[in-house]
Structures are given as C-alpha cells and as structure tokens.
Amino acid sequence: MKILANDGISKSGIDNLTENGFEIITTNVAQEQLINYINENKIVGLLVRSSTTARRDLIDSCPSLKLIGRGGVGMDNIDVEYAKSKGIHVINTPAASSASVAELVFAHLYGGVRFLFDSNRNMPLEGESNFKGLKKAYAKGVELRGKTLGIIGFGRIGQEVAKIALGIGMKVMASDKFMDNATVKINFSTSQSIEVKIKVHPFDKVIASSDFISLHIPAQQKYVIDSNVISKMKKGAGIINAARGGIIDEVALVKALDEGHLSFAGLDTFENEPKPEVKLLMHEKISLTPHIGAATLEAQNRIGEELAIQISKLLK
C-alpha cells in the first residue's frame, strides 16, 4: 500500500511504515496536480502538514484514499467530517508537538521583553557606529519572573506553556470554554515531579489581568482578539500567537503597537499565510517566525512515529 507524505515525514516514521509493509512516497506534489498523482499511483494514505489541503474535491475525486493524516494538531486544511462521511480515516498527532510549540512561545516572550527581535535587526547595521545608543535603547527590559501569563485555550499545548511559566516563576491564568479547572504535572530531570492546580477563569478576566497573553486555540470563524479585546488588555502587555492565523485582528494589533498600548507581539502564524502583510514583517515591535511551532527535530520524530503507529493500526 502506498502512502504519500506530501509535506514530508521523519526518517523514523518512514522506517516504521516501511517495516510494516507500506511504500512511502515523499515527493512534494503541487496542490493542483495532487488528485491526478493520487489516482495514477493508487495512493491509499495522504499525509499533510500545513501546506497541503484535502478538501471535498480531492476526497470525491480520489476513490483509492482510505486515510488522510495531519502531522500536527490543527486540521483546518482538511474537510474532516466530510472525509469521515466517505469512510476515510482522518488522523492527527495532537500530543507530539506540544512541547516544541511551548518552547517557541517562550523564545518569543524572552525575545520580546529584552527587545532581541529588534536588537538583532539593528546590531548588524549600527552595532559598530552606535553601540552606546543601542545599549541605551534596549536597556529597559523586564523580567518574566513574577509576571502573569494569560493562556487562552488550555489544552495540551496551553498546559505545556503553563509548565514552563510556572517553572520560571510566573503566575498563570487560564481561559478555556471546555473546562473549569486543570492540574498540570511538571516533571524534572531529577525524576521528581510536582502537580499544580490551575483555576480556569472567564476570558475577560484573563485578558484584563495578564501581563502577557499566549493563544492556543484552533482556527475560528471570527477574530478572538479584536480592537475591543485589545483595549481591555493591560497597557504595555505583550501577546503571542503560535496557534492559528486569523484569530488576531492584525490591523488592530498594529494600531495598538503603534499607539503604545501593547509593548510587543510574537507571531508564528498569520492571517494571510504564506504571504504575511508587509506591515507585520517590517514592524519594530513584532517578533516573527514562519509557522515553525512544531518544527523541531524531536517533534518531527514524534510526529512521524505517531502517524506510523496509527496508520499501521488502521490500514493493516
């Protein structure tokens, strides 16, 4: 049986599937050519990440497909319920990349409070000629310890973010429509662990009380963070979006940054991927990454292995 990993898969995933009798194809097929390729090669399983979509037209046009897999959490690029209605298995890897996304959140947070994103732009340009001036410009950083991190969406990734926050001495407030309270277990390298109970608060309370906001919710039909919500945030707060593009009103975000109501933003996802707005890309108060939350070697290995296990279980 042939599996097309159109957006790639780790070697460990390939090895696992090959050992179980599958033929793995890692050719990257253009979206407009995907239907023909699947039919010509009698592909039974299509694996995607964020680049490839699996919509109704593809599902209807590819009778050989028995499984569609998403290497990651969000499945907004797959018509999940429609595929299931056609008898196609739809799988993802919700746990495999949680730690990687959480660490990226803190890369943005640490970079934000110490102006690293802007310093790294200007040091190559002015470091030799204006060292003292840059030193003065970036000398008003703050520490994360003791500050309040508001986490919007307290699923697997949100809880991983909370673990890091608690570990460095931050206060954590969470908001989630689907739970009242949660207990996070923090494991240490010494083989010791502690459990911390996190109370889940109303959205507005988290927004108004937090020094920093981190978003961990799926794609939405409308903005979750719009101008009204931003106006309720603390003056000087920072916001991180390593979840999905389109949950922040980017026009309102830029306005709040320009006016000084927000101090910085960290964006890994964008409303207009793969072509983010130039105003975002050039803004001196925005830390930028190109949707790499799950893109660590460790996470890719976990994703590949988890996909392989599920595929073997469902198709053999």
CA–CA separation, 33 vs 61, rounded Å? Answer: 12
Beta strand ranges found along 224-293 (DSSP E): 237-241, 262-267, 286-288
SS3 state at 143: coil
Q: Tokens for 56?
A: 């109704």
H or E element, residue 190: none
Check 291, 302, 305, 306 and give the catalytic one: 291
Check 244, 271, 302, 306 and give the catalytic one: 244
Cβ burial of 286 (10 Å; 0-12, 13-18, 19+) is: buried
Q: Is 156 a catalytic residue?
A: no
Q: Is 284 a catalytic residue?
A: no
Check 89, 201, 273, 277 and give the catalytic one: 273
Radius of gyration of the chain (CA): 21
Beta strand ranges found along 41-180 (DSSP E): 43-48, 67-70, 89-92, 148-152, 171-175
Beta strand ranges found along the chain (DSSP E): 2-5, 23-25, 43-48, 67-70, 89-92, 148-152, 171-175, 181-187, 193-199, 212-215, 237-241, 262-267, 286-288
Phi/psi for 232 (5° steps) reads -90, -10
Q: Is 291 a catalytic residue?
A: yes
For residues 65 and 56, is the Cβ–Cβ distance under 8 A?
Answer: no
Alpha-helical segments (H) within 24-73: 34-41, 56-61
For residues 240 and 108, is the Cβ–Cβ distance under 8 A?
Answer: yes
Cβ burial of 58 (10 Å; 0-12, 13-18, 19+) is: buried
Q: Which residues are catalytic?
A: 244, 273, 291
